Amino acid sequence: MATDLPGSVTQRQVSTDRLQTNLLVSGDSDGTPVCLVHGNVSSARFWAELMAELPDEYRVFAPDLRGYGESETKPVDATRGVRDFTEDLRALFDELGVETVALVGWSIGGGIAMQYAVDHPKTLTDLVLVSTMSPYGFGGTTRDGTPCQPDYAGTGGGLANDEFVERLADGDTSAAADASPRSVMHAFYVGPDHEFDPDVADDYVAAMCTTVVGDENYPGDAEPSENWPGVAPGEHGVLNAISPKYFDTSALADVDPKPPVLWVRGDADQIVSDTSFFDAGFLGQVGELPDWPGEDVYPPQPMNDQTRDVLESYADDGGRYTEETFADVGHSPHIERPEQFRSVLLDFLDD
């Protein structure tokens, strides 16, 4: 996977009773534990540059989730939401002897981090959400989490771009098509003004192409629906695991104890936003999905508003959260503005 890791970052394999897990590691083995959880169609490699610049006083580790990077491939039971991933993390922490940890999740990793906080709040010293998905899942809900369609049509594995999935499965590292992994990374993982270092970009694209493709992993299976847009979530795979049919972490507002929360996002994010180009409601509104039934039936999902509402409830119930919005930044603040992100993160962890 990672051909040119920064010098202070190393790679190791850890066996648990659930998964053979690949880890990137940096910092002092006796330091304060910080776990970095990657997003969808990526791997721990997307954290390596940040890891290399964090102080040695932190014990930093970034696992590849099941079906990504160099970790073992096991199926994802979507009917459990993201708990296959969170239970893998729990087993990993036990194996590493980590009793409490600062958990940092990016994109879908943010959803995994929220679910972990709901299930294991006493083990978290801090919770950091980076361009996180909504607590109400991805797609197909109104602001309060109510589903737009009774069968959650318009969410899950059937919404993936078929050409992208095919090129991902083929390991296409070229920029020959708009739907190639490299083109998608440049168009959507970052803002329009970001320029990758070519060697790092090659590593990131290679990491994307480690994603295991199929009905049990990415994107997952699908079911036909009589409701717009004609497809509903199946029971297997990653995109179904984050469908609101199975994923709801709004209970985060009620956890006890409440670790401090930092939410970092970019204002030019096209993946997680109130106008996401990966959301059926918004695609229908702008004419990319035909026969949209209108805003009264299927509005764009207000992802950031939903996250803010849950975090406001968290604060009202005695918790503390901070929202940091990076100007002219897309879906990857830690990659696009590394110095700013590192400063914000360390100020939060040191507080």
Side-chain-side CA neighbours of residue 269 (13 Å): 24
Tell me, what's the pLDDT at 351?
87
Half-sphere exposure of 336 (CA within 13 A, CB side): 26
Per-residue pLDDT of 199-234, as tens digits, reads: 999 999 999 999 999 999 999 999 999 999 999 999
| Structure-token pair, residue 143 | 């602001």
pLDDT at 7: 87
The percent helix, strand, coil of the chain (3-state, each to 5) is 35, 20, 50
Per-residue pLDDT at 3:
57
DSSP-assigned beta bridge partners for residue 222? 233
Q: Decide if 50 is inside a domain.
A: yes
Neighbours of 94 (CB within 10 A): 13
85 domain-assigned: yes
End-to-end alpha carbon distance in the chain: 35
Segment holding 208, helix H or strand E: helix 198-208
54: in domain? yes
Q: What pLDDT sits at residue 1?
A: 43
204 inside domain: yes
Q: Do 27 and 17 contact (CB within 8 A), yes or no?
A: no
Does 5 map to a domain?
no
Element (H, E) at 49: helix 48-53
Residues 19-30 as b or e (16 or more Cβ within 10 Å = b): bebbbbbbbeee
- Name the 3-class secondary structure at 147: strand
The DSSP output letter for 348 is H
- For residue 147, is it within any domain? yes
List, in order, residues 6 or more apart from 296 with CB less than 8 Å away: none
Residues forming a β-bridge with 11: 24
Residues in the chain with pLDDT < 70? 1-3
Question: How many CB atoms lie under 10 A from the CB of residue 267?
Answer: 13
Q: pLDDT for 333-347, tens place per residue? A: 999 999 999 999 999
Residue 351 burial by Cβ neighbours in a 10 Å radius (0-12, 13-18, 19+):
exposed
Question: Burial code of 280-302, b = ≥16 C-beta within 10 A, e = fewer?
Answer: bbbbbbeeebeebeeeeebbbbb
Residue 255 lies in domain: 10-350
In this structure, is residue 280 part of a structural domain?
yes
Rounded CA separation 313/327 (Å): 26
In this prediction the pTM is 0.98
State the CATH number of the domain containing residue 293: 3.40.50.1820
The Cα 179–Cα 165 span in angstroms is 9
Partners of 22 in beta bridges: 13
Provide the residue type at 201 as one letter.
A
**Hey, what amino acid is at 10?**
T
The total number of structural domains in the chain stands at 1
Residue 298 forms part of a structural domain: yes
Question: What does the pLDDT read at residue 257?
Answer: 98
